[in-house]
Amino acid sequence: MGKVPVGNTTVMDRFSAPARLMIVSDLDHTMVDHHDPENLSLLRFNALWEANYRHDSLLVFSTGRSKTLYKQLRKEKPMLTPDITIMSVGTEITYSNSMVPDDGWVEVLNQKWDRNIVTEETKKYPELTLQPETEQRPHKVSFFVEKDKAQAVTKALAEALKKHGLDVKIIYSGGIDLDILPQGAGKGQALAYLHEKFKTEGTLPHSTLVCGDSGNDAELFSIPDVHGVMVSNAQEELLQWHAENVKDNPKIIHATERCAAGIIQAIGHFHLGPSISPRDIADLLDKKLEIVNPGYEVVKFYLFYERWRCAEVNNSEAYITSLEADFDPSGVMVYPSGDEQSFADSINGLRSYYGDNQGKQFRVWVDRVLASQISSDTWLVKFNKLESYGVTFISHSLSLSLSRESVRVGLLGFMFTRHGCKNQKAKINEIGLFVPISNQDSNAW
């Protein structure tokens, strides 16, 4: 798995060595809290992951959503880019932002599976209502069914399909969703497949944390040697499965925090690594690291930038003076428009932005923060910076050079900055989708 093909090119990925930690998380009501309109717990996780884990760990999203609905959710919520995406209840595995499919997994699922027989047989059950076309996938046929009818339908349907020589799995979750999959499919089997693949290649992660809230996540907790967290808002169907199957397993906990906050809680509970999000640190510029960590510095700087513009820190000249003292004097800021400005002028420009978003839902986060050391004291850091203004999102792709001394003192030392910008502004329409309305460049950091 050392290289992932993308079109006619081959790009190096981050699977060449065992990950320190692999988080495998469900999305809806686990990583993403749909009852948190400001997405605070998700943003806390984002900052923690990009600051401390992105460089040597793997983030896996395991969702019941199809690719279509998964992409829709990414437009609606400030989600990070995962290294691996498991979709459609474990029937599809893709890698990297390009979503390169795993052909080996497709071969596994084709065994004793005939989608045409499944669709024909299910027509005999009026209790089943076919889900939208976007949710019908090559190895998944999905329906809605009322809770009081689900058990009887599931039993009868399983027997009927077995008579046709098919080996299928029927999963009922959320009190409404019924999915029919190949027996070898499912979130748990997809994770087991990845573990075996990593093991064969000598890159099995040192630790794996699985996270879920509903019945279709239960299989994740059955994988040997994983840590697991059921978030505090987990549904009764998952809690019941836990009580009946793994209640004595100390590696599985029921968090007291909701969604992404529960995942952070589990990282700390199991001592899997740092569990204090930079968003939970009051004075970011006072936080010093003994070990050079460019990713942490990028996260920390943009959180300070967010708080400065929201007037959540004091309008103190000491902050500006500190920044001026530690930025490389030869540094240049290159804006998405192509304009260049010295760092001295850029830092001075911060004064005029103080409090310009006070009282607004202005948030800044970074994604895909990856650093490579290009000399004994310099790192090239590439990442995406995103801003939200309530219902409006703006994104930039950036590259930075950081010097060793500036990182050691706890501030960003940009030696040269270049923006390769994909800048799209969007808004949520009445049914919750994102609709592009303009492309603009911003001369604000």
- Cβ neighbours for 356, distance < 8 A, ≥ 6 positions apart: 309
| Token output for 201 | 């290649």
pLDDT given for residue 285 in this prediction: 66
Residue stretches of the chain with pLDDT short of 70: 1-13, 285-292, 325-339, 391-392, 396-445
- Strand-pairing partners, residue 195, are none
d(CA 136, CA 255): 33
pLDDT score recorded for residue 396 = 67
Would you report the helix, strand and coil content of the chain in percent, each value rounded to 5? 35, 25, 40
Q: Name the residue with tokens 């990442």.
A: 383
Question: HSE on the CB side for 235, CA within 13 Å?
Answer: 17
Amino acid at 93: I
Q: In this predicted structure, what is the pLDDT of residue 218?
A: 94
Contact 182, 141 (CB under 8 A): no
Q: Find all residues with CB under 8 Å of 27, minimum gap 6, and list them.
A: 61, 62, 63, 65, 70, 73, 79
With b for 16 or more beta-carbon neighbours within 10 A and e for fewer, the 88-117 pattern comes to: bbbbbbbbbeebbebeebeebbeeebbbee
Length of the chain as a residue count: 445
Structure confidence at residue 253 (pLDDT)? 97
Residue 70: CB atoms within 10 Å? 21
The contacts of residue 318 (CB under 8 Å, 6+ apart) are: none
Would you state the pLDDT for residue 128?
97
Could you tell me the pTM of the whole model?
0.83
Distance CA 168, CA 161 (A): 7
Q: Which residues of 282-321 are buried (b: 16+ CB within 10 A; e: fewer)?
A: eebbeeeeeebbbbbbbbbbbbbbbbbbbeebeeeeebbe
Q: pLDDT of 115-145, one tens digit each?
A: 999 999 999 999 999 999 989 999 999 999 9
Q: Which residue has the tokens 């009445």?
A: 430
Q: Which long-range contacts (CB under 8 A, 24 or more apart) does 426-430 make?
A: 426/75, 426/392, 426/393, 427/391, 427/392, 428/76, 428/391
Q: How far apart are CA 17 and CA 203, in angstroms?
A: 5
What's the rounded Cα separation, in Å, for the pair 402 and 235?
45
Q: Where are the alpha helices (DSSP H) in 276-408?
A: 294-309, 317-326, 343-353, 404-408
pLDDT at residue 272, as a whole number? 98
| H or E element at residue 157 | helix 147-163
Distance CA 40, CA 112 (A): 44
Strands 340-342 and 362-375: unpaired
What is the pLDDT, as a whole number, of residue 73?
95
User: How far, rounded to the nearest angstrom, does the alpha carbon of residue 42 sit from its chain's CA centroid?
Assistant: 9
CA dihedral 45, 49, 51, 57 (to 10 degrees): 170
